[in-house]
Structure 1
Amino acid sequence: MFGSNLLPNLGEVVAMILFGIGFANLLLQKNLIKKIIGLNIMDTAVYLFLAIKGYIEGRTAPIVVNGVQEVEAYINPIPSGLVLTGIVVSVSVTALMLSLTVRLYRRYHTLDLDEISSRLKKEGI
């Protein structure tokens, strides 16, 4: 019963596993770079899930070719647009997080979040 639904939904399962790996990495790691990698894995899992859900077997990209204008011939373009927009936003967020991580490293000479937190408490911030 469980195995009969696994193969048709393999992409969704892979996306959920990737999201779980990224989430666990985000929660369990103390290194800031590893946390950023975990967040990027989670982003990728969401984009994979949206791309899989937006694809319809037997349909093509929504570009009118050879005069075919029936809606049933094309996939829904909204998930693809969401994925592209999400990728642009996640690259910007990753760049911001990395720049803040560099600033923290220059100030505290460590990437360990617990060590940075304890030094902040000592400074009274």
Structure 2
Amino acid sequence: MTTFVVPLVLIGGLTSAGVYLLLERTLTRMLLGLLLIGNAVNLLILTAGGPAGNPPVRGRTSAGETATSDPLAQGMILTAIVITMGVAAFVLALTYRSYRLNSDEDVDDDVEDTRVKTESTTLDEDPPAPDMRRDTDEPDELDALPGHEGSR
């Protein structure tokens, strides 16, 4: 099997540009990165599908080819195109909603994530000891079992 270098370089370039754009903080650039990666995957499937040949219809020939082309690659590419467009529509809707709410499409740091990160770095190595006064088998106000005095 002959491997052509140009499609592989094109696939690598599209994938690397798509990953670079996905790592940005702007939702529009993330969308463009998703589209570039989707196109790179489609080219990869087309390249892996093998050489061109006769149409996959019994009794049909094309330009004197002896082998029949694989229809699975074409079906997978059509499916990948539909999935990529669905994801693109979803990200576009998220971008529109984010812009309408914040009048900005940049993704900001989450305040809660920042708080958890700072707390996790300030904690000691040893976890706090459990409160043994609350650790009993007797029903208390937190139990929701019917028939016990502690249930509401």
TM category (shorter chain) comes to 0.7 to 0.9
The answer to which structure has the higher helix fraction is 1
Q: 1:66: Cα distance to partner? A: 4.1
> Which of 97, 102, 113 does residue 108 from structure 1 map onto?
102
TM-score normalised by structure 1 residue count: 0.75
Q: Which residue of 2 aligns with 1:43?
A: 38
> Does structure 1 residue 16 correspond to structure 2 residue 9?
no
Q: 1:101: Cα distance to partner? A: 1.2
> Which of 76, 87, 92 does residue 82 from structure 1 map onto?
76
CA distance in 2: counterparts of 1:90 and 1:66, whole angstroms = 32
Deviations 1:63-87 (A, max 9, x none): 234489xxx6211111111110010
CA distance in 1: counterparts of 2:60 and 2:76, whole angstroms = 27
Which consecutive residues of structure 1, in runs of 5 or more, have no partner in the other structure?
A: none
Q: Which amino acid aligns with 2:14?
A: L
> Does structure 1 residue 99 correspond to structure 2 residue 93?
yes
Aligned identity (percent) is 28
Q: Which amino acid aligns with 1:13?
A: V
Spell out the pairing of 1:32-71 with structure 2 (5 A cutoff): 32-57=27-52, 59-66=53-60
Q: Which amino acid aligns with 1:23?
A: V
> Which of 22, 28, 41 does residue 26 from structure 1 map onto?
22
Deviations 1:34-86 (A, max 9, x none): 111011100100101111221315x1331234489xxx621111111111001
Q: Which amino acid aligns with 1:12?
A: L
Deviations 1:83-108 (A, max 9, x none): 10010011111111111111111111
Which consecutive residues of structure 2, in runs of 5 or more, have no partner in the other structure?
A: 116-152
CA distance in 1: counterparts of 2:60 and 2:105, whole angstroms = 56
Compute the RMSD of aligned alpha carbons: 2.6
Task: Tell me the secondary structure at the aligned position of residue 47 of structure 2.
Answer: helix
Pair member with larger Rg: 2
- Pair 1:96–1:18, CA change in 2 (3 A): same
- Pair 1:96–1:56, CA change in 2 (3 A): same
